Amino acid sequence: MSHALRAPDLALISQSDSLFEAQLIKKLVAIFALCALILTPVCFSFAVESEHDPGQSTRWFRLGELMLSATQTDGDYLLRFSKDEEELFAGACAFKTHEPTTIKNTPLAGCKTLLAYCFSGGAHCCTTLFIATECGPQASLDMVDLGHTSGKILFAQTDDVPGKVMKVHDWQFAYYGPEDCLIQLSFANSPAMTRLLVFDKGHWRVDRIGEFSRFYSRLIDKAVREAHFSAAKNEPELSASLAMKAAYYGLMSGKSLDETAEVLNRLFPAQWKPQAGKVIQDIYRAAYEFSPVETIR
């Protein structure tokens, strides 16, 4: 038997539903308020942790599959290269000299190069350059000993190879003096020979003797002009340094040892001429042994 609900019954049900909804809303409000009270301290603690060491900051740089983290602290500048979970290199520098930089279309069109500098601290010395290069399916990582160089390296284009080469310096003659000899160059007048790094077979390498003959021929001419100018101003130490540069560049251009020795003798100041034989041998050794690049990956 069915029973039809009367109007008073419907009114009671409607009133009961309204009361239930009101109680439900009050409970929900209480729950939300409780959550807010609980979560607020948690969020605050996260903010404190993120500012736990206000003297430390980390920047991230990605090049293909390689990741660089550069962390600046109150005492050190930390560089770390990694690939996925594998650490490729990690080291502490005295402080940051230059911000890591990514250069597009270098060394070739469509390639990218990431440069990161690490300065060891100390007078004049020493800077290491990390070069991550993406020029193909894999990114490579090379380390270059820049010696006393403090400024940023420069890229150049030559007639001998496509793309860009990197200019670095050979500092093997800093404070140079021939063996068993009293004469010695000051650091200010020590010759820093320009050399080129070439991107070859996926990595950077130092140039070879005779590889960039036109480039070094121009440097010979410049060193000879400056040596004559220095001699006219009676600056024997600087003249000796420039004579060594001219001889070094002569070797790099592909000239024979006898030809470069002749250049050295012609430009050397009188007090240095007796040492020319020793000096040319040291120049020959330095030009061949200069090897600033180490492959990391």
Number of domains present in the structure of the chain: 2
User: Which tens digit of pLDDT belongs to each residue from 144-179?
Assistant: 999 999 889 999 998 878 899 999 999 999 999 998
Q: How far apart are CA 33 and CA 210, in angstroms?
A: 79
**Domain boundaries, position 286:** 153-297
* DSSP H helices in 142-275: 213-232, 236-253, 257-267
pTM of the full predicted structure? 0.79
Q: Under a CB-based contact definition with an 8 Å cutoff, are residues 260 and 146 in contact?
A: no
User: Which tens digit of pLDDT belongs to each residue from 69-125?
Assistant: 999 887 789 999 999 989 999 999 988 889 999 999 999 999 999 999 999 877 667
Structure tokens at 29: 């409000």
The DSSP H or E segment spanning 15 is: helix 7-50
Are 261 and 179 part of one and the same domain? Answer: yes
Domain end: 100, 117, 151, which one?
Answer: 151
User: Which tens digit of pLDDT belongs to each residue from 117-140?
Assistant: 999 877 667 999 999 999 988 899
Are 71 and 183 part of one and the same domain? Answer: no
- For residue 292, tell me if it sits in a domain: yes
Query: Quick check: 221 pLDDT over 50?
Result: yes
- For residue 234, tell me if it sits in a domain: yes
Give the list of residues 6+ apart from residue 41 with CB closer than 8 angstroms, or none: none
Residue with tokens 């403090």: 150
- For residue 88, tell me if it sits in a domain: yes
Cis bond upstream, residue 54 (ω within 30): no
Q: Under a CB-based contact definition with an 8 Å cutoff, are residues 204 and 144 in contact?
A: yes
The DSSP H or E segment spanning 29 is: helix 7-50
- For residue 19, tell me if it sits in a domain: no
Are 168 and 295 part of one and the same domain? Answer: yes
Are 284 and 252 part of one and the same domain? Answer: yes
Are 177 and 275 part of one and the same domain? Answer: yes
Q: How far apart are CA 112 and CA 102, in angstroms?
A: 7
The mean pLDDT value of the chain amounts to 84
Query: Quick check: 14 pLDDT over 70?
Result: no
Q: Under a CB-based contact definition with an 8 Å cutoff, are residues 184 and 176 in contact?
A: yes
Are 140 and 170 part of one and the same domain? Answer: no
3-state secondary structure 93-105: ECECCCCCEEEEC
Are 157 and 127 part of one and the same domain? Answer: no
Total length of the chain: 297
Are 192 and 239 part of one and the same domain? Answer: yes
User: Which tens digit of pLDDT belongs to each residue from 183-214?
Assistant: 899 999 999 999 999 999 999 999 999 999 99
User: Which of 23-32, 47-56, 70-79 ranks highest by mean pLDDT?
Assistant: 70-79
- For residue 2, tell me if it sits in a domain: no
